[in-house]
Amino acid sequence: MRLYSRAQVLLIILVVLVSGFTLAYLVGFFRTPETETPGGETSAAPPEEYLLQTDSPAERMIPVSSGDYAPGNDEALNIAVYRNTNEAVVNITTETLAFNWFLEPVPSEGGSGSGSIIDVRGYILTNDHVVRDAYRVYVTLYDGAQYPGEVIGKDRENDLAVVKFDPGEKALHTISLGTSSLLQVGQKVLAIGNPFGYDRTLTVGVISGMGRPVRTQDNLIINDMIQTDASINPGNSGGPLLNTRGEMIGINTMIYSPSGGSVGIGFAVPVDTARRVVPELIDHGMVIRGWIDIEPVQLDANIVRHARLPVSAGLLVSRVTPGGRAEKGGIRGGNLQSPVRYGRNTFYLGGDIITAINDRRVASLSDLFSVLQNSRPGDKAQVRLVRTGSLGGRAQELTLEVELAERPEGSGF
């Protein structure tokens, strides 16, 4: 029997220990790693596709569930909304009438924009400025098919219009109308349109603000506009602003841009406004609104100085409609025996000066249209005015309740 020295025994023990530690290490190395759950239990590590893919090694080890926030879900949502709605977005082009050297009317290329099919019978919702002054309207569908269209209703004050075309036997895709009453700043939105002629382009952003009053090129104010940073460019006008369910929540209308291109400040007319006016545009071709049946004159410094008026801003009542509701409500017009010519206009001094309606300041004609924008004939309006009685006479402040008449067609800007 062979005997080992003490040194040899110690060496054998050392070799066995090292081998054991090595084996344990290798077993642990090939074993599936475990992560700790919030409850303290352990579970297998998530698959690689559920790990955050970032530049930070530490963040790459954070597990992500396969639910709403899984990588790729946002892309899938964008794709789904686009697939479900883009074929309902049309390209609208127009021709206008111009005059040649012989003063003969000739067709001329107009503008272009976007629109949304909202009814399978061929009704399209777009912006008024897209089809304004159009002599001919053409509607191009997603598959390139082009149809002649007709503008059947316009609402300049909300910059909305309805175009109708005859699809024949063609089945049309439509966009559902959502609601804009519950929108929140930060909510994701998607815009589809035809910027610079690139048909059915998708851009994505968020709602940046709500309830924005925006002044148009016609010097009208559209209230309650939706502000978004989703890229909107020329050609997007009239196209839909969508929520993540693919419902239209706004109609893309205008941008704020010193350069003319998108800088992340775009505006859309709320879809609730469209819900209110579209039926009237289809039935009547216009929106029936309330009106104070007077001939108003917007004050400026020259009129105020000449007439020695006690106020610097407001609407001078030149005339009231004889027997009309404004006259019955007590509003007085000017002295018809003393007409004043100012530029190309003739009006009468001495009438009441309207300064507010329903506690909203009225300093200009655009203010008057804005205040009465959502009113109806028969509504009652509280009209605050200043009455002078005579040239330079003593001023008297009054508040009268006036029943609104129907606004005459063509009384807008």
- Residues 204, 270, 222, 159: what is their CA dihedral angle, to the nearest 10 degrees? 90
Listed by start position, the domains of the chain span 6-31, 188-284, 290-406
- DSSP H helices in 313-378: 325-328, 365-371
Contact present, 126 and 163 (Cβ < 8 Å): yes
Sorting pLDDT into bands at 50, 70 and 90, what band is 31?
Answer: very low
The pLDDT-based confidence of 5 (bands split at 50, 70, 90) is low
For strands 294-298 and 339-342, give the pairing.
unpaired
Angstrom distance (rounded) from CA 176 to CA 352: 48
Q: What is the pLDDT of residues 238-271, one digit of tens each?
A: 999 999 999 999 999 988 766 666 677 999 999 9
Distance CA 106, CA 29 (A): 83
Burial class of 394 by CB neighbour count within 10 A (0 to 12, 13 to 18, 19+): exposed
Percentage above 90 pLDDT, the chain: 60
Fold of 290-406: Pdz3 Domain (2.30.42)
pLDDT at 393 over 60: no
237 included as an active-site residue: yes
Decide: pTM greater than 0.95. no
Catalytic residue selected from 114, 208, 231, 237: 237
pLDDT, tens digit, 9 for 90 and up, residues 217-247? 777 788 899 999 999 888 899 999 999 999 9
Q: List 383's β-bridge partners, or say none.
A: 357, 400
| Whether the domain at 188-284 and the domain at 290-406 fall into the same CATH topology | no
Which residue type is seen at 108? S
- In angstroms, rounded to a whole number, what is the distance separating the alpha carbons of residues 222 and 256? 14
Question: In Å, how far are 73, 218, 271 from 229, measured between CA atoms?
Answer: 21, 24, 18
Run of H or E including 97:
strand 89-99
Q: What is the pLDDT of residues 307-333, one digit of tens each?
A: 999 999 999 999 999 999 999 999 999
Contact between residue 352 and residue 387 where contact means Cβ atoms under 8 Å apart: yes
Residue of 155, 159, 199, 352 marked active site: 159
Encoded tokens for 39: 């409850």
Q: Which two tokens stand for residue 222?
A: 């559209």
User: In this predicted structure, what is the pLDDT of residue 38?
Assistant: 36
**Residue whose structure tokens are 């219009």:** 161
**Residues 238, 130 contacting (CB under 8 angstroms):** yes
The secondary element (H helix, E strand) that includes residue 235 is: none
> What is the residue-averaged pLDDT of the chain?
82
Q: Interior CA angle at 215 toward 213 and 218, to 5°?
A: 145
- Identify the residue with better confidence: 27 or 203: 203
Percentage of the chain surpassing pLDDT 70?
Answer: 76
Tell me which of 3.90.550.10, 2.40.10.10, 1.10.10.10, 1.20.1640.10 is the CATH number of domain 188-284: 2.40.10.10
When pLDDT is cut at 50, 70 and 90, the band that residue 394 belongs to is confident
- Out of 112, 116, 128, 129, pick the active-site residue: 129
Q: Evaluate whether 226 touches 268 at the Cβ level (below 8 Å).
A: yes
